[in-house]
Amino acid sequence: MPDASFQTLSIVEVQRAVETELDRIAPVIDDLGRVFNDAGHELALVGGPVRDAMLGRRHNDLDFATSAHPDDTERLLQAWGDATWDMGRDFGTIGCRKGDWIVEVTTYRSEVYDVASRKPDVDFGDSLAGDLGRRDFTVNAMAVMVPGRVVEDPFGGVVDLAHRVLRTPGRPEDSFSDDPLRMMRAARFAAQLGFTVDPAVVAAMTAMADRIEIISAERVRDELVKLVCAPHPRLGLSLLVETGLAQRVLPELPALALERDEHHRHKDVYEHTLTVLEQAIDLEPRLGGEPDFVSRFAALMHDVGKPRTRTFVDDGTVTFHHHDVVGAKITRKRMKALKFSNDETAAVSKLVELHLRFHGYGNGEWTDSAVRRYVRDAGDQLERLHVLTRADCTTRNQRKADRLRRTYDGLEERIARLREQEELDSIRPDLDGNQIMEILEIGPGREVGLAYQHLLEVRMDDGPMSEEQARQALLAWWAGRVPSS
């Protein structure tokens, strides 16, 4: 749930916050406002920067709307800024950098989706009011005209922001019909800002959930990443599940709400998963402190194999055998459908597949060989695996939780000790391919790979060896493979 920082604000507090932020960014907004005004064009600070100014949040990326068309905007920005770019020209947007500031200026516009289209038709508008009316939520439909700093709030965004509620400027059905991705943005803003969502908006999201299917996988993916990396992803994810949107963009999540048997012989997997996600977030300082999508998404997906593997045993217990392996396959398939990169997909699915590995070693009776294999299999995801494994403990039994924590502390200590003694993060055989061929008097081929793999297993079991020890191990293996003449 939102913390104390998400309390309701007074209108006076909102006004004071925006005045303070506008004073801070005055060198940019006032100067640029005069440039456009002198050229006969309107310019207004819009959207997220206005909302965040009212929340007392600072950033150096500023969005503006203007009556000027892109060619005029580009000409004015080229004369004013240090560098410009026009990658958003098709949508009326020209970008600019001036010092440490990043500015994007977009021509007043209106965009409407065709019922069967994945892309908006963009038409330039002729008024700020019309531009604001096409925006997603009232808290994003506010503007500050510059250089005069006149606040334009035709849809009551200031009041909604003060009460931390998300509403659409017009009927939510119309807004979501124009751009169905706004339904996911509602969930994302709930997670980012800690806002509640107006009941009419929730009702429209529920009724129109299937409309999200016309949106490209890439745009859905980008919103999902922003939601998962938000301060309170549970709020947004719960809204996606509640409205049926999750069933269409991430069906593995609502599937975790397994029907409970009458004797409650297994925990609520859906609630457990959200708790694991929150605990993984609490452990992110181990990864550098910034929101880590791979770690968070692995926490969200770690048990997605359970619905397919749940079995009721005769003795009254419930099992989920191999849900880690099944879950990794499901994760790869979903991330591929959402057009995630190969690297992200591999990292998340590896974590899902390995999340039970720690529990396969009982109460911590880890041999050096087991530690080496744990590190090797985790590879560059070891630190994230530490986070996921620790976060996966949601038991209310404090004694059990303490025991698991101490056991994992012991494993990390073992890894640290072995790292001091060995090159644990890059374990390789004590002989390379050339040495293997020289000793066995063979050329390149399958046998070299088999020999290399055998020496790697020996290295895992016995630790580092001298070259002579490795040579004897290789010859013994080779003798056992080649029958004597």
**CA R_g for the chain:** 29
Chain centroid to Cα 269, Å, comes to 21
Reply yes or no on whether the pLDDT at 311 is more than 50.
yes
Higher pLDDT, 476 or 360: 476
Reply yes or no on whether the pLDDT at 485 is more than 50.
no
Whether residues 196 and 84 share a domain: the answer is: no
Alpha helices in 121-260 (DSSP H): 128-133, 157-163, 172-178, 181-193, 199-207, 217-228, 233-243, 245-249
Number of Cβ atoms within 10 Å of the Cβ of 130: 12
* pLDDT reported for residue 360: 67
Q: Stretch 427-451: mean pLDDT, rounded? A: 84
State the CATH number of the domain containing residue 292. 1.10.3210
Please report where in the chains the tokens 């009232």 appear, as a residue: 138
Chain centroid to Cα 303, Å, comes to 17
| Region of poorest pLDDT, from 104-118, 230-244, 247-261, 368-382 | 104-118
* pLDDT reported for residue 435: 85
| Region of poorest pLDDT, from 124-133, 317-326, 463-472 | 463-472
Residue after which a domain boundary falls, among 230, 250, 270: 250
Q: Which of 4-8, 114-118, 225-229 has the highest mean pLDDT?
A: 225-229
Q: 76: closest CA among 43, 101, 104, 39?
A: 39
Please report where in the chains the tokens 């640029």 appear, as a residue: 32
Whether residues 414 and 266 share a domain: the answer is: yes
Whether residues 114 and 3 share a domain: the answer is: yes
Q: Stretch 469-482: mean pLDDT, rounded? A: 82
Compute φ and ψ for 365, nearest 5 degrees: -80, 70
The overall longest dimension of the chain from CA atoms, in Å, is 97
Sign for the CA dihedral angle at 267, 268, 274, 275 comes to negative
Q: 21: closest CA among 48, 44, 46, 55?
A: 55
| CA dihedral of 352, 358, 359, 360, whole degrees rounded to 10 | 100
Whether residues 211 and 355 share a domain: the answer is: no
Whether residues 275 and 406 share a domain: the answer is: yes
Please report where in the chains the tokens 């994230």 appear, as a residue: 384
Residue 161 to residue 73: CA distance in whole angstroms: 31
For the chain, percent helix, then strand, then coil, each to nearest 5?
60, 10, 30
Reply yes or no on whether the pLDDT at 63 is more than 90.
yes
Task: Evaluate the omega torsion of the peptide bond into residue 147 and state whether it is cis, within 30 degrees of 0.
Answer: yes
Residue 99 to residue 456: CA distance in whole angstroms: 54
Whether residues 173 and 95 share a domain: the answer is: no
Give the three-class secondary structure for 314: coil
Reply yes or no on whether the pLDDT at 259 is more than 70.
no
Compute φ and ψ for 361, nearest 5 degrees: -110, 30
Q: What is the pLDDT of residues 154-204, one digit of tens each?
A: 999 999 988 999 999 999 999 999 899 999 999 999 999 999 999 999 999
Residue 266 to residue 166: CA distance in whole angstroms: 36
Reply yes or no on whether the pLDDT at 261 is more than 70.
no
Higher pLDDT, 370 or 335: 335
State the CATH number of the domain containing residue 193. 1.10.110.30
Residue 153 near residue 142 (C-beta atoms within 8 A): yes
Q: Which of 52-61, 86-95, 261-270 has the highest mean pLDDT?
A: 86-95
Whether residues 155 and 26 share a domain: the answer is: yes
Reply yes or no on whether the pLDDT at 265 is more than 70.
no
Q: What is the pLDDT of residues 15-29, one digit of tens each?
A: 788 888 888 999 999
Reply yes or no on whether the pLDDT at 118 is more than 60.
no
Q: What average pLDDT does the chain have? A: 87
Whether residues 204 and 349 share a domain: the answer is: no
| Region of poorest pLDDT, from 139-143, 315-319, 407-411 | 315-319
Q: Which two three-digit tokens encode residue 335?
A: 């991330």
Q: What is the pLDDT of residues 353-405, one digit of tens each?
A: 999 988 866 565 778 888 888 888 898 999 999 999 999 988 888 888 888 88
State the CATH number of the domain containing residue 121. 3.30.460.10
Confidence band (pLDDT; 50, 70, 90) for 5? Answer: very low
Q: What burial class does residue 451 get, using C-beta atoms within 10 Å of its C-beta: 0-12 exposed, 13-18 middle, 19+ buried? A: buried
Please tell me the total count of domains within the chain: 4
* pLDDT reported for residue 1: 40
Residue 179 near residue 136 (C-beta atoms within 8 A): yes
Instruction: Report percent pLDDT > 70 for the chain.
Output: 90
Whether residues 416 and 272 share a domain: the answer is: yes
**Which residues make beta-bridge pairs with 318?**
312
* H or E element, residue 112: strand 109-113
Residue 107 belongs to domain spanning: 1-163
User: What is this structure's pTM?
Assistant: 0.82
Confidence band (pLDDT; 50, 70, 90) for 8? Answer: low
* pLDDT reported for residue 482: 60
DSSP, residue by residue, 406-421: HHHHHHHHHHHHHHHH
**Which residues make beta-bridge pairs with 196?**
165
Compute φ and ψ for 124, nearest 5 degrees: -75, 140
Confidence band (pLDDT; 50, 70, 90) for 3? Answer: very low
Residue 405 near residue 363 (C-beta atoms within 8 A): no
Q: What is the pLDDT of residues 453-474, one digit of tens each?
A: 888 787 777 777 788 888 888 8
Pairing type for strands 61-66 and 83-85 reads unpaired
Q: Stretch 49-76: mean pLDDT, rounded? A: 91
Whether residues 158 and 173 share a domain: the answer is: no
For 270: left if phi > 0, alpha if psi spans -120 to 50, otherwise beta; the answer is: alpha
Residue after which a domain boundary falls, among 143, 163, 183: 163
Whether residues 5 and 152 share a domain: the answer is: yes
Whether residues 358 and 304 share a domain: the answer is: yes
Residue after which a domain boundary falls, among 109, 142, 163: 163
Please report where in the chains the tokens 């509403």 appear, as a residue: 167
Q: Which two three-digit tokens encode residue 330?
A: 């499901």
Q: What burial class does residue 479 get, using C-beta atoms within 10 Å of its C-beta: 0-12 exposed, 13-18 middle, 19+ buried? A: exposed
Number of Cβ atoms within 10 Å of the Cβ of 87: 9
